[in-house]
Structure 1
Amino acid sequence: MASLRLTFMVVTTIVIACMHFPTTLAVTSYVVGGAKGWSMPPKPNHYEAWTEGKKFIKGDRFYWVFKEGKHNVGEVSSKEAYDTCNTTAIIPPLIEKVDGSFLFLYEAKIYYFICTIHCSKGMKIAIDIKES
Structure 2
Amino acid sequence: MATTHIIIVAILALSISVSAKEFIVGDDAGWDVGPDYQDWAEGKEFVVGDTLVFKYPVGDHNVFKVNGTAFKACMKPPPSEALTTGNDVITLATPGKKWYICGVGMHCAYGEQKLAITVQPNNLAPAPSFTFPIGVSAKEFIVGDDAGWDVGPDYQDWAEGKEFVVGDTLVFKYPVGDHNVFKVNGTAFKACMKPPPSEALTTGNDVITLATPGKKWYICGVGMHCAYGEQKLAITVQPNNLAPAPSFTFPIGGAISSPSPMPAPMPAVWYPARKIAAIKN
Shorter-normalised TM-score: what interval?
0.7 to 0.9
Looking at structure 2, the residues matched to 61 and 113 of structure 1 have their Cα atoms a distance apart, in angstroms, of 13
In terms of fraction of residues, the more strand-rich structure is: 2
Aligned CA distance change for structure 1 residues 67 and 124 (closer, same or farther; 3 Å): same
For normalisation by structure 1, the TM-score amounts to 0.76
The equivalent of 1:17 in structure 2 is: 10
SS where residue 54 of structure 1 aligns? coil
The equivalent of 1:115 in structure 2 is: 220
SS where residue 199 of structure 2 aligns? strand
| Matching residue within 172, 188, 193 for 1:81 | 188
Which structure has more relative contact order (CA 8 Å, sep 6+)? It is 1
Q: Which runs of 5+ in 2 are unaligned?
A: 12-131, 241-281
Aligned CA distance change for structure 1 residues 49 and 29 (closer, same or farther; 3 Å): same
Q: Which runs of 5+ in 1 are unaligned?
A: none
Aligned CA distance change for structure 1 residues 17 and 131 (closer, same or farther; 3 Å): same
Aligned CA distance change for structure 1 residues 54 and 36 (closer, same or farther; 3 Å): same
| Matching residue within 27, 31, 36 for 2:147 | 36
CA RMSD of aligned residues (A): 2.4
| Matching residue within 96, 110, 114 for 2:202 | 96
Counterparts of residues 56-75 of structure 1 (less than 5 Å): 56-75=164-183
Structure 1 consecutive aligned stretches of length 4 or more whose deviation exceeds 3 Å? none
Q: How far does residue 101 in structure 1 lie from its aligned partner after superposition?
A: 4.6
Looking at structure 2, the residues matched to 41 and 33 of structure 1 have their Cα atoms a distance apart, in angstroms, of 10
